[in-house]
Amino acid sequence: MALTDVARLAKRRGDALIWALYGAGLLPALWYFYLGSTGGLGADPVKTFERHLGLWTLRFLILTLTVSPLREIFSINLIRYRRALGLLAFYYGVMHFSAYMILDQALDLNTVIADIVKRPFITIGMASLALLIPLAVTSNAWSIRRLGRNWMKLHRLIYVAAAGGAIHFILSVKSWPAEPVIYAAIVTILLAWRIVRPSFLRWRRSTQTKAPRPARSAS
C-alpha cells in the first residue's frame, strides 16, 4: 500500500470519528429529553432537564480546554476533535438557554429579559453563552484562514466563557455543595495552566535536547 493511501485512510477514519463524536455528544440531550417527556426526570423535570443541559455545556467546555494541555504535557494530540467539542459546548449552551426560556419560563420574554438584566447568575450565564456565539460562527476553515492570528486571539474568549459558566453554576445553588465547587476547581486549573504554560514550555525546552514544537494554539 502506498504511503498516500495510508494517509487518506487514516484521514477518512478520523473524519468518521469526528462525526461519531458529534453523534455521541448529542446523546445525553436526547436521552434527557426522552426521560423528561415520559415522566422520568423526577418531581421537577424542567429544572432537572435544564440542569443536565447546563452540566453538559460545562463538561464540553472543560473537554475543549483539556485538548491543548494534553498535547503540551502528555503529547497526546486530540486537536482534530477540538472543534467538535467546542461546538458541542455551544449547542448545549443554546439548548440549556432554550429549556429555560421555553420550558421553564414558558416564553415569558418580559421575565426572561428581567432575569438576564437583574439576576447576576443569569447575566453571567447569558454573557458566557453570548461569548461562544462568535466562536461557533468562526469555527470553520474559511474563518481560520481569513482571520489568521486574530482567530487565535478571538478564540481565547472561551477562557472567559468557561470561567463564567463555572461561576454561573456556583451562583445558581444554595450554600456550597460539592459539585459546582469541583467544576469550578477544574476550570480554574485549566485556566491557570494557560498562565504557567509559557514558563513550563521554556523549562522543558531547556531540559530537553530536542525541543518540542512551540505551542501555537490559542486554546
Partner 1 sequence: AEALKASRGPYATDEKLTSLEDVTTYNNFYEFGTGKTDPASNSGNFKPKPWRVKVDGLVSKPTEFDIDELIAQMPLEERIYRMRCVEAWSMVIPWTGFQLSELLNKVEPLSSAKYVAFETVVRPDEMPGQQGLFQPLDWPYVEGLRLDEAMHPLTILAVGLYGETLPNQNGAPIRLVVPWKYGFKGIKSIVRISLVDKQPPTSWNMQNAREYGFYANVNPEVDHPRWSQATERRIGEDGFFGSGRRKTLPFNGYGEQVASLYSGMDLKVYY
Please report, as ranges, the residues that interact with partner 1 according to CB under 8 A: 36-37, 39, 41-47, 49, 103-106, 108, 111, 114-115, 118-121, 171-178, 181
Q: Closest separation between CB of residue 95 and partner 1, Å?
A: 14
Minimum CB distance to partner 1, residue 178 (Å): 5
25 in Cβ contact with 93 (< 8 Å) = no
Q: CB–CB of 103/46 below 8 Å?
A: yes
Closest CA to 29 of 66, 62, 59: 59
Cα angle 37-41-42, degrees, rounded to a multiple of 5: 125
How far is 22 from 88, CA to CA, in rounded Å?
A: 7
SS3 at position 105: coil
Closest contact distance (angstroms) between CB of 104 and partner 1 is 6
Residue number with CB closer to partner 1 (25 or 125): 125
Comparison of 49 and 81: residue with beta carbon closer to partner 1: 49
Indicate the residue among 45 and 200 with the shorter CB distance to partner 1.
45
Q: How far is the CB of 128 from partner 1 (least distance, A)?
A: 16
